[in-house]
Structure 1
Amino acid sequence: MTTRRRLLSATAALPMLALPAVGRTQPAAAPVVARLDFSFTDYTTRGGGRLPVVRIGYQTAGRLNAAGDNAVLITHFFSGNGHAFGRLEPQGPLGWWDSIIGPGKPIDTDRFYVVASDSLVNLNAPDRHTITTGPASVNPSTGRPWGLNFPAVSIRDFVEVQKRLLESLGVRRLALVAGPSMGALQAVEWAAAHPAMVERVIPAIGTGEVDAWMMGWLDLWCAPIRLDPNWRNGDYYGQGRDAPLRGLAESLKLVTLHSRDRGWAAQFGRRPAEGQEPARRVQDRFAIEQWLDSAASARSRLSDANSFLYLARANQLFLNEYESGAAALAGAPQRWLVLPSQGDRVFPIEYSRELEATLRQAGKQVELVPLRGGLGHLEGVSNIAQAEDAIRRFLAP
C-alpha cells in the first residue's frame, strides 16, 4: 500500500473533529466497557429553562477509593461522546483517548476511577451508543421531539449535569478534569465553577475564552443547516419529513476542514477526483472536495442537525456567567497542564498562550506543552499520546 493510500485510509475514520468511538486498531487485550445510563428529574438550565427529565450516558474504569477523591472526569469534544477509552463491542474501535487511559497508561485506571460521560444536546443523538437529552429527545409534556422548544444550554449546564452524575457515583473530589476541544472548555468551566472539587486540570486544544472571532466561526459552521429547506426552523422530526442532511453535511464539511492543517491535506495534492476533469467542467471535483463530500455525507446520517446548532450555542456561552476569563479563573485550582496543537486552526495556539498567561497572573502553577504534527486541531485527539510524558509528570503522586 502506498504512503498516500495509508494516509487516506487512516483519515477516513476521522471525518470531523473526530468521531465517537474512533481509534486505532485495538489490541486483543483492550477491555470492553459498559455504557451506562444516568437520569434525574426537574433540571433548571442556567438560562432559566426547565427540563422535566435529563438522561446522559457514561462509562467508568477503575475503582473509587473510600475517600471518593481519586476520580478523573474526561470531557468530550464537539462531535464526540463519552466513549473515551476501551471498546464498546469485542471487535469495535477504541475510544478516542484510549492511548492515555487504562492500566499503566498516563491516566492510570489502576490508580484512578475514570468517568467519561455524554453531554446534553449531543450531536450523536441518533447513534445507539449515545444517551443524551436534547432537541431530538421527546418532550414528556407533548409526546413529540422538543425541536427548537428545547431551552438553550451552556457549557456550564454540561458541568452541572456531570456534577450530579459524579455525586450519584459517590465522587467527592476530582483528582483531574481533562478533555480536548469542547472538552477543554468543560474542564476550564469545571475549574471556574467548582474549584474546591478539582485538584488538577488538563485543557487540550482549547482556550480560556470564546471570543468574537470564534463566535463568528461557530455561526458559519451553523449557516448551511439553517439554509437547508428541510430544516423547517427545527421542525423536521415529524413523520414523512426529511431531515436537513444536505445542510448538515455542508456544516460538517466546514468543521472537518477547519479542524485539520495543511500537513494533513497535502496527501490530496491538487489531483482531480477519479474520472473528473475540473479544468474542463466546473461541476467536476478535486480529490480533496470529493473526500470532504463523502466523509461529511456519511457523518451527517449519524448526527442531528438541531443538536449541532445547540452545541454551537453552548460553546458560544462558554464562561458567559463571568465578567472575564481572569475573573472566572481567579479562584481556580492551582495545577494546570495546557496542551495546545502547534498547527491548530480552530483554537490557534495563541488561545492557549493567553490562557497560560491568565493563569500565571492568578498565581497558578502552569505547564504548556505544544503538540506537533500535521493533523492540526486533531493532534489533541488522535495523537494525544505524544503528551504521555508530560501527563505522567503532571499526575505523579
Structure 2
Amino acid sequence: MGVVETFHLDLPDPVRLDCGRELHPVRVAYETYGTLSPERDNVILVCHALSGDAHAAGVAKAPPESGTRDGFGAEERDGSSAKGLGWWDGMIGPGKAFDTDRYFVISTNLLGGCRGTTGPSSTDPATGRPYGSDFPVITVGDMVRTQRAFLDALGIERLAAVAGGSLGGMQALEWAISYPDQVDAVVAIASTHALHPQGVAWNAIAREAIMRDPAWQGGHYYGTGRAPDAGMGIGRMVGHITYLSAPALEEKFFPAAAVRRRPALHDHRARVRGGELSASPGRLVRQALRRQHLPLHLARADLLRPRQAARRRVAEAGARGRAGADAADRVQLRLALPAGGLAGHRPGAALSGQAGRVRGDRRAVRPRLLPAGRSAADAHHPPVPCPRRGRVTSRKRHW
C-alpha cells in the first residue's frame, strides 16, 4: 500500500448517544485505500479492536510511538516498519482479502478511541480542558451511529461489507442490527453479540486495577505528566488471560505438559488420523455436507426438524389427557449421522440408520426420534443406578 496519511473529518451535527446525551463537536480520524467507484457501491468499512486506530494498512506517514500490530514478537516479525505498519496490512491491499483493486476500503478510529477521534483526551468545549472521566459513557451502538454520520458526510449511502475482529466484530454485528438495509455483508471475526457475565466480571477487575493506580487522579490525569500506566498494564494482563481458555494456554506455553495430562484425548486423535477409529460425529456431519454440496443452513433446518416433532408429540400427548409433563421425559431425541452419510437423504425426511459409536464417546447418539420406552435400541443402553439419589437413569444423551 505504500505510505498512507490519516485524515480527519468534523461531523456537522451532534451525535446522539444511548445514555441520552448529545456529543458535539465530534471529529473522526480515518484512512482510505483503493478507488471509490462512480456508483459509490464498492465501499468496505473495517472496524478495529479495542487498542486499534484508523491506520489499518500501509506505512503511516507519521509513525506513532507504539504500533498497533497484534501478536507476540510483532516488532521483530515486521522489522523496522513495525510501528508504522497498519494493524490489518496483511488483509488490505491489491490482491489481498480486501482487494483494493476492486473495493474502496475505509478505516476509522472509533468514538472514544483517542487516536484522532473524539474521546476522553479531547477538549471539552464547556471547560476548555480534556474531558477525562467526564466523557460520556458510550456503547457499540454509539460507535456505529458515529460511523453512519461520518459516511453520510462523505456521501456514501450503502456499504458492500463491514468487517472487524473482537470489538470490531461487535461493531459489524451492530451495523446488521441498526442498518440492515444499508449493508450487504458482515464479517465478524472472533467476536460476539454480547459479553458473558464472566467477561463482565473480568472487565470490572481490570477497571479497578486502573482506577486504584494513584496516577489515575480521578480520571483527570491529562496534562499532569502522570498516567495510570501500572494499572493499565495489570488491566491488559487480565484481558489477555480472558482471550484464551485454560487448555489453550497450556497447549500454547506448555505443550509437553498438555500432552502428558491429556493422553487419552491425544491418543484418540492419533488413532483417528491413523484410520484406526472413525472421526467424531460432528466431523462426519461436516464431511458429509461437503460431499453432498448441501448448504449448511439448509442442513441445520433439516436436521432440527425431528426436534420440532418431539415437541409436537409431547403437546399431543398432553392434549389426549396423558401426563404431559411426564411425556417430555419419555421422548428421546437421538440425532446423529447415519452410517452411509447423507447420501440419498431427501430434504425434509427424518434421518434413519445408526452411526458408529466410539467407546466412551458421549456425543455419539442415534438418529431416530422414538419414545424411549418402546425403542429396540434401548437394549444397548442398560439402566444404571444414579450415584447421587439412587434413581435409575439411562446412559442415553438427552437434548
Classify the TM-score, shorter chain. Answer: 0.5 to 0.7
Matched, 1:33 2:33: no
Give the aligned partner of residue 22 of structure 1.
none
Matched, 1:67 2:67: no
Give the greater-gyration-radius structure (CA).
2
Shift of 1:107: 1.1
Q: Which moved more, 1:112-121 or 1:222-231?
A: 222-231
Aligned 8 A contact 1:50 1:151 in 2: no
Matched residue of 1:78: which SS?
A: coil
Could you give the per-residue CA deviations for residues 231-256 of structure 1, whole angstroms, max 9, x where no partner exists?
Answer: 132122254x6222211121122223
Give the aligned partner of residue 50 of structure 1.
22
Matched residue of 1:161: which SS?
A: helix
Could you give the per-residue CA deviations for residues 207-231 of structure 1, whole angstroms, max 9, x where no partner exists?
Answer: 1222322222221221201211221
Shift of 1:52: 2.2
- Taking structure 1 as reference, are residues 96 and 234 closer, same or farther at Cα in structure 2, changes over 3 Å only? same
* Coordinate RMSD, CA, aligned: 2.5
Distance 1:100 1:243 in 2: 34
Shift of 1:101: 1.3
Distance 1:134 1:183 in 2: 17
Give the aligned partner of residue 205 of structure 1.
190
Matched, 1:103 2:94: yes
- Taking structure 1 as reference, are residues 101 and 218 closer, same or farther at Cα in structure 2, changes over 3 Å only? same
Distance 1:202 1:166 in 2: 19
Q: Which moved more, 1:255-264 or 1:192-201?
A: 255-264
TM-score normalised over the length of structure 1? 0.56
Give the aligned partner of residue 113 of structure 1.
104
Give the aligned partner of residue 384 of structure 2.
none
Could you give the per-residue CA deviations for residues 286-327 of structure 1, whole angstroms, max 9, x where no partner exists?
Answer: xxxxxxxxxxxxxxxxxxxxxxxxxxxxxxxxxxxxxxxxxx
Q: Which of 228, 253, 260 lines up with 2:213 in the alignment? A: 228
Shift of 1:42: 2.5
Matched residue of 1:73: which SS?
A: strand
Matched residue of 1:178: which SS?
A: strand
Could you give the per-residue CA deviations for residues 165-197 of structure 1, whole angstroms, max 9, x where no partner exists?
Answer: 212222121111000000000000010000000
Shift of 1:63: 1.5
Matched residue of 1:66: which SS?
A: coil
Distance 2:223 2:161 in 1: 43
Give the aligned partner of residue 327 of structure 1.
none
What one-letter code is carried by the residue in structure 2 that aligns with 1:65? S
Q: Which of 74, 87, 95 lines up with 2:59 in the alignment? A: 87
Aligned 8 A contact 2:4 2:31 in 1: yes
Distance 1:212 1:221 in 2: 14
Could you give the per-residue CA deviations for residues 62-114 of structure 1, whole angstroms, max 9, x where no partner exists?
Answer: 11212221100000001111222111149633222221211111211111110
Instruction: Among all aligned residue pairs of Structure 1 and Structure 2, give the percentage whose two residues are the same amino acid.
Output: 36
Matched residue of 1:138: which SS?
A: coil
What one-letter code is carried by the residue in structure 2 that aligns with 1:59? E
Matched residue of 2:106: which SS?
A: strand
Distance 2:160 2:108 in 1: 17
Matched, 1:151 2:136: yes
Shift of 1:115: 0.2
Distance 2:209 2:88 in 1: 30
The structure with higher relative contact order (CA 8 Å, sep 6+) is 1
Matched residue of 1:202: which SS?
A: strand
What one-letter code is carried by the residue in structure 1 that aligns with 2:53? N
Q: Which of 230, 242, 253 lines up with 1:265 in the alignment? A: 253
TM-score normalised over the length of structure 2? 0.55
What one-letter code is carried by the residue in structure 2 that aligns with 1:199? D
Aligned 8 A contact 1:59 1:115 in 2: yes
Gaps of at least 5 residues in structure 2 are 64-79, 258-295, 302-399
Distance 1:212 1:86 in 2: 38
Matched, 1:162 2:147: yes
Give aligned pairs, total.
Answer: 237
Matches within 5 A, 1:180-329: 180-239=165-224, 242-260=226-244, 261-262=248-249, 263-266=251-254
Shift of 1:199: 0.4
